[in-house]
Amino acid sequence: MLGDDKLRSRWKTLQKKLSDQFADGELMDLDAIIYLIGVQELGRIDQKFQKDEKIDLMHIAICRLLEPLGYYAFDYYDEEGWPHYRTLAALPSLKPGEQSIMMKEAVVNYFLEEHYIV
């Protein structure tokens, strides 16, 4: 895991940068950022999505974010171009705060890999 201070600093930097770019400076929460990752992974940035599709986008993002940790692996794209993942390992039982930290670290690592932040 990233050091707490380093993770906190990178998270705040990322949150501000994304908020400025996509939410007119209104601070985006973890769920909103996960949704953005889902849209990015699908590759349909200008499309409007139905409520059930938004849930699917968040699922895509979570799978993609947890793939490097060994929980999921990309499987295939369906006929509509949506990515599908298969489960490799059960997710650990974590308290809500621990889940949030794990997801924030995964999000930070995703954007580090994408060279969006340093």
Q: What is the pLDDT of residues 22-56, one digit of tens each?
A: 999 899 999 999 999 999 999 998 889 999 999 99
> How large is the average pLDDT for residues 4-32?
95
Q: Reduced to 3 states, what is the DSSP secondary structure of residue 52?
A: helix
pLDDT band for 3, please (50, 70, 90 cuts). Answer: low
Please provide residue 82's backbone torsions phi and psi, each rounded to the nearest 5 degrees.
-85, 130
Provide the 8-state DSSP code for 69.
Answer: G
Query: What pLDDT was estimated at residue 81?
Result: 94
On the question of pLDDT at 1 being above 70, the answer is: no
Distance CA 18, CA 102 (A): 19
Span between the terminal Cα atoms of the chain, in Å: 16
pLDDT of residue 118: 87
> Can you give the pLDDT at residue 110?
98
SS3 content of the chain, % helix, strand, coil (to 5): 60, 10, 30
Token pair 């950022």 in the structure block, residue: 33
Q: How large is the average pLDDT for residues 92-108?
A: 94
Instruction: Report the percent of the chain where pLDDT is more than 70.
Output: 97
